[in-house]
Copies of this chain bind each other. A is one copy, B any other.
Amino acid sequence: MGLSKTEQFTEEDILIARFAKALGHPARIAILRVLIQRKACICGDIVDELPLSQSTVSQHLKELKEAGLIQGDIDGKKVCYCINEQVWRQAQETLGVLFQRYTSCDSRCC
């Protein structure tokens, strides 16, 4: 059907999946990389860095914003995006915990 039965799962799992889903496209990783590299936030010249049209980049920015990972502040004619530090740390934490929860049983299966 296309959308998940989100009600049936843990809040935690839904949150992790939401963060992961936002990271689930190369363009969005590339966008985040640009935002991280410049340390300060930059505006829509992210578009110039990506091999995608302006509208498509805008859509990706929207998804990252909806996941909370970035924020955009209007600065005159332009819009300034940057990592949302707090949410970023939350994503780092929740995903990190998931990964660490697997403490090497012997790699053989069964």
The contact string, 1 if C-beta is below 8 Å from chain B, for chain A 70-110, is: 01110100001111111010011001101111101101011
Instruction: Indicate how many identical chains form the complex.
Output: 2
Q: Is the CB of A109 within 8 A of B73?
A: yes
Minimal Cβ-Cβ distance residue in B for A38: B105
CB of A62 within 8 A of chain B? no
Q: Is the CB of B36 within 8 A of A17?
A: no
Q: In the assembled complex, how far is the CB of residue A28 from the closest CB belonging to chain B, in whole angstroms?
A: 7
CB of A61 within 8 A of chain B? no
Q: Is the CB of B29 within 8 A of A98?
A: yes
Complex Cα distance, B109 from A61, in Å, reads 15
Q: Which residues of A contact B (CB under 8 A)?
A: 4-6, 8-10, 13-14, 16-17, 20-30, 32-33, 36, 39-41, 51-52, 71-73, 75, 80-86, 88, 91-92, 95-96, 98-102, 104-105, 107, 109-110
The list of the 8 closest CB pairs from A to B, nearest first, reads: A21-B24, A20-B23, A9-B26, A80-B110, A8-B51, A92-B99, A13-B29, A85-B107
